[in-house]
Amino acid sequence: MLLAGIDIGGTKMEVSLFEVADSVNNKEFDLHTSTKHYEAKKVLSRRTPTDRHLGYEKVSGNLVQLIRETVESADASLNDLRSIGIGLPGIIDPQTSMMKNGNTGIFIDQDLMGTLKKGLESDIEINIANDANCFALAEAVAGAGVKYQEETGIPIADHIGVGVIVGTGCGGGIIRGGQMLVGRNGTTGEIGHSTLVTNGHTCYCGRRGCAEQYVSGVGIESAYASRIYTQIAERPNARKIFEMAEEQEPLAKAIVKEFKSNLAFFIANLTNILDANYFVLGGGVSLQPEVYKGLADIIRRDTYKPDYSPAVYQNVLGDSAGGIGAAMLSLTK
């Protein structure tokens, strides 16, 4: 079956078409009765800048156009699509599917679903979810969750999986038995705004010591910059700091060590709350192999169940995860 998944961010919008099959017999999939999983093959994708400054009307019009172009490029029509799923960077109201906050403000309180149906002149099923939740969902049913299932024999239906995006910021999603937990207000999985350090750094959300201030690329960068007492031409980014740590630069080494300890503490907290089977990391920082070295041992020290450490995986689906998760919203409700 053909599904469309749309990943909308502050800088770009990407429409992807996926051919999705059940791993066993290509029939309608039931997460709850088997160890089957999804395989999502990208047919093609098209992207365009979000151009937020143009405003909602223009941007949503561009999106309609992009969906049409993408479907046409695949020699398909809208009728060939089972559904369209959209990942948006903000809290999505579970009742209205409207975005309630986020840095891409033009979508806030807009009926994107209605706008697209009107623009596409179609009554196709459209689902909208938070982008980090989409990442977690994709990895749970077609990525890291499949790996965990293979390694342990525990079926996806019995998993609690947590997606943690350690990118510029820190976001997350919680998936239980292949289904996204959204919560009453759509904020389940906003783990980046749980307190990691009491009276810590001020966060843009208004609180202090949020995990996002420490478990993120920006957190790593500002920790480094705040401890340099000489003039530097330019602040090193997180990737550079990992590189310098590998080259044994003492400050970078210390920052990376501290980051890992924060990440481990964060994951241990979440483990004590959720008792998850596994965590899957996404975002730029997740690409650093150093992040995973010895991490399980540090987590183990802080979990309530003696000597327990959940699996922590690097994401399997890469940049496509957001789009795949969005596409799969219609299959996993």
- Using alpha carbons only, give the angle 264, 266, 271 rounded to the nearest 5 degrees: 90
Which residue stretch of 20-28, 40-48, 99-107, 192-200 sits at the interface with Zn ion (rule: CB under 5 A)? 192-200
Cβ proximity to Zn ion: between 216 and 288 the closer is 216
DSSP string, 127-152: EEEEHHHHHHHHHHHHSHHHHHHHHH
Q: With binding defined as CB under 5 A, does residue 205 bind Zn ion?
A: yes
Please check whether residue 18 is in contact with residue 40, taking contact to mean a CB–CB distance below 8 angstroms: yes
For position 203 contacting Zn ion by CB under 5 A, the verdict is yes
Q: Residue 153: what residue type?
A: G
* Cβ 122 to Zn ion shortest distance, Å: 39
Question: Which span sits near Zn ion by CB under 5 A: 11-19, 156-164, 209-217, 218-226?
Answer: 209-217
| Kind of pairing between the strands at 38-49 and 81-88 | unpaired
Check binding of 193 to Zn ion (CB under 5 A): yes
- Shorter beta-carbon distance to Zn ion: residue 44 or 205: 205
Strand-pair category, 278-282 with 160-166: parallel
Per CB under 5 A, 210 contacts Zn ion: yes
219 forms part of the interface with Zn ion (CB under 5 A): no
Q: Is the Cβ of residue 205 or residue 228 nearer to Zn ion in the bound state?
A: 205
Which structure tokens are listed for 223? Answer: 């920790």
Stretch that binds Zn ion, among 5-13, 60-68, 199-207, 279-287 (CB under 5 A): 199-207
By CB under 5 A, tell whether 103 contacts Zn ion.
no
Q: Give the range of 210-218, 252-260, 270-278, 303-311 binding Zn ion by CB under 5 A.
A: 210-218
In the chain, how many H helices and how many E strands? 9, 10
Cβ closest to Zn ion, residue 47 vs residue 100 = 100
- To the nearest 10 degrees (0 to 180), the angle between helices 238-246 and 217-225 is 70
202 binds Zn ion (CB under 5 A): no
Closer by beta carbon to Zn ion, 122 or else 195: 195
For residue 200, the minimal CB distance to Zn ion (Å) is 10
Q: Is 197 in the site for Zn ion (CB under 5 A)?
A: no
Size of the site for Zn ion (CB under 5 A): 5
**Of 180, 207, 185, residue with least CA distance to 196:** 207
For residue 242, give the nearest of 255, 233, 232 by alpha carbon. Answer: 255
CA distance 108 to 105: 5
- Pairing relation of β-strands 278-282 and 311-314? parallel
Q: Does 215 bind Zn ion (CB under 5 A)?
A: no
Chain positions contacting Zn ion, by CB under 5 A: 193, 203, 205, 207, 210
